[in-house]
Amino acid sequence: MNVRLFLSGFLLALFGATLLSAANAQADAAPPRVLLATIDGPIGPATTDYVRRSIERAEAEDMAALVLRVDTPGGLAAATRDIDKAILASKVPVVVYVWPSGAHAASAGTYILYASHVAAMAPGTNLGAATPVSMGGGSPQPGARPRAAPAEDGAEPAAEAATSSAMERKVIEDSAASIRALAELRGRNAEWAELAVREGVSLTATEALEQGVIEYIASTVDGLLEQIDGREVQLDAGSVVLRTAGAEVVEFNPDWRNQLLSVITNPSIAYLLLLVGLYGLLLEGYNPGALVPGVVGIVCLLLAAYALQVLPVNYVGLALIVVGIALMLVEVFTPSFGVLGLGGLAALVFGSVILFDSDVPGFGVSIGLISGIAFSAGLGFLITLRLMAGARRAPVVTGDPELLALPALALGEFMPGDEGHDGFVHVRGERWRACSAQPVSAGEHLRVEAVEGLRLRVRHDPAHPR
């Protein structure tokens, strides 16, 4: 009996081990999976959210790697730093791939490429031109340490401050140190990275490979995955060997939330939301109880406020827009012969031009949109003035002046009084007390000559001779 039980247990254990080995073999046979995300266009808050969620999904599903296909002219410094931090803290290898041919990773794209664990480019692409742009509208010129021409006696030029402000130098130095640190961390060309920041230089894909800026050149994602298979990369948790040959590529596209965020933070959309919000609230203020302008204005203004807090906004321009709209509305209710309206239109145009820092790639409002808004506002202002002028020339339809020269019908014979002859008349369907300098007979046609409180002064109607 004991031998029989022993043999039964041994066979069960052997069977379980066989099943476990088969399961492990099947798991090992399954191809690895790689998540593919795409950065296309200016880098802003929506891009940051998209990259973060891409990394989170790759980690949650235990992907072999995350491939970021990049084609960008640059973007906001704050958004770029947030993306770099997310890549540096990623638990899965992040591969930045400048793709397709003709694409570029300019400015902010260069920083993201340097932060990646593996950097690659497609043939016919380029990267660089990473000189930072100041948020106030004036960009530091390429060249880290601009110097004046040497004097004839060989003396040193006066000072670097003569050609570059202290703030610009701070921005450049900080950016140069940041990209140099990324280069040292990933073992890439730190000297060229600093030149890209200080002098705005760029490289083609072939030049980048030769100078140690990237590790691979590949025409397709599948070709890139074959090349990087077996490469060892360093994560926070330790070194990892990439197993990407024949990997299943899973595309991760932006969802509705990311698309909505991208639309709201578009400078042109944020600008329109701001205008609609301001007009809505001001019209609600002048027409209490209308509700629709107020509700639409509040919603649009809140969306605009969210967008403006993450965009490079010039608050002088924002103030000019608010003042300009207010002046044009004041002109409608307090006519000043166009002075307030024209001043408001000028403030609106100038504020719109300087509202966003147009030097940041992809984050300016087009002159065409500003011109259209200015034309519409000016046209509306002129139409309002024309309507107001027409209203001034129109006859009065309410109040005492409206009664003057109206026809009246005597309801009875007027009796002599202290101020002439008194009686009652019928005017515009109403019974009025009236007086006349001449005797009036019942049923006689009269005309209103003046309004004296609650009494009318009438006279004989020339169109109806007595």
Q: What are 310-366's pLDDT values in tens digits?
A: 787 888 888 999 898 888 878 777 766 677 878 888 898 888 888 876 566 666 787
User: How long a stretch of residues is the chain?
Assistant: 466
Sign, CA dihedral 254-257-259-265, equals: negative
* Cis amide linkage into residue 100, ω under 30° from 0: yes
Write out pLDDT tens, residues 218-237. Answer: 999 999 999 999 999 999 88
pLDDT of 67: 97
- Burial (CB < 10 A; 0-12, 13-18, 19+), residue 411, is middle
Q: Residue 145: pLDDT above 60?
A: no
Higher pLDDT, 113 or 165: 113
Q: Residue 430: pLDDT above 70?
A: yes
DSSP bridge pairs for 72:
105
Write out pLDDT tens, residues 77-90. Answer: 889 999 999 999 99
pLDDT of 344: 87
pLDDT of 392: 65
Alpha carbon distance 242, 93 (integer Å): 8
Q: Of the candidates 325, 365, 369, which has an alpha carbon nearest to the alpha carbon of residue 345?
A: 325
Rounded alpha-carbon distances, angstroms, from residue 348 to 272, 320, 326, 345, 375: 12, 6, 10, 5, 11
Higher pLDDT, 376 or 40: 40
Name residues whose C-beta falls within 8 Å of residue 270's C-beta, 6 or more positions apart in sequence. Answer: 264, 304, 307, 308, 311
Beta-carbon-side half-sphere exposure of residue 344 (alpha carbons within 13 Å): 22
Contact of 408 with 456, CB cutoff 8 Å = yes
- Arithmetic mean of pLDDT over the chain: 83
Alpha carbon distance 258, 21 (integer Å): 43
pLDDT of 139: 40
Write out pLDDT tens, residues 25-74. Answer: 444 556 899 999 999 999 988 999 999 999 999 999 999 999 999 999 99
Which range has the top average pLDDT, 181-185, 348-352, 385-389? 181-185
First-to-last C-alpha distance (Å) of the chain: 146
Q: What percent of the chain has pLDDT over 90?
A: 45
- The angle subtended at Cα 252 by Cα 251 and Cα 256, nearest 5°, is 140
Is the CATH number 3.90.226.10 carried by domain 15-147+161-256? yes
pLDDT of 359: 61
Higher pLDDT, 23 or 401: 401
Q: Identify the weakest region by mean pLDDT among 215-224, 244-253, 262-271.
A: 262-271
pLDDT of 342: 83
pLDDT of 372: 87
Sign, CA dihedral 269-272-278-284, equals: negative
pLDDT of 357: 62
SS (H, E, C) 250-284: EECCCCHHHHHHHHHCCHHHHHHHHHHHHHHHHHH
pLDDT of 134: 52
Residue 281 tokens, joined: 């609230």
Rounded alpha-carbon distances, angstroms, from residue 66 to 119, 133, 247, 254, 398: 12, 29, 12, 15, 75
Alpha carbon distance 288, 282 (integer Å): 10
* Continuous H helices in 137-266: 166-186, 190-198, 205-210, 221-228, 256-264
pLDDT of 158: 43
Contact of 79 with 48, CB cutoff 8 Å = yes
Instruction: Name the pLDDT band for 370 (thresholds 50, 70, 90).
Output: confident
Q: What is the mean pLDDT of residues 239-262?
A: 92
Q: What is the mean pLDDT of residues 163-181?
A: 85
Beta-carbon-side half-sphere exposure of residue 258 (alpha carbons within 13 Å): 18
Q: Of the candidates 327, 351, 352, which has an alpha carbon nearest to the alpha carbon of residue 338?
A: 327
3-state SS assignment for residue 94: strand
Write out pLDDT tens, residues 8-21. Answer: 665 666 666 665 66
Examine domains 15-147+161-256 and 400-460 and report if their fold is the same.
no
Instruction: Name the pLDDT band for 153 (thresholds 50, 70, 90).
Output: very low
Higher pLDDT, 83 or 285: 83
Name residues whose C-beta falls within 8 Å of residue 381's C-beta, 6 or more positions apart in sequence. Answer: 328, 331, 341, 345
3-state SS assignment for residue 403: helix
Q: What is the mean pLDDT of residues 202-208?
A: 96
pLDDT of 376: 85
- Domain chopping of the chain, boundaries: 15-147+161-256, 265-393, 400-460
3-state SS assignment for residue 156: coil
pLDDT of 151: 42
Residue 242 tokens, joined: 């990439």
- Burial (CB < 10 A; 0-12, 13-18, 19+), residue 281, is middle
Q: Which helix (H) or strand (E) holds 292?
A: helix 292-310
Q: What percent of the chain has pLDDT over 70?
A: 81
Q: What is the CATH number of domain 400-460?
A: 2.40.50.140
pLDDT of 309: 81
pLDDT of 213: 97
Instruction: Name the pLDDT band for 167 (thresholds 50, 70, 90).
Output: confident
Name residues whose C-beta falls within 8 Å of residue 432's C-beta, 6 or more positions apart in sequence. Answer: 408, 424, 425, 426, 454, 455, 456
Alpha carbon distance 270, 357 (integer Å): 13
pLDDT of 265: 86
pLDDT of 396: 60
Higher pLDDT, 74 or 142: 74
Contact of 70 with 112, CB cutoff 8 Å = yes
What is the widest separation between alpha-carbon atoms in the chain?
146
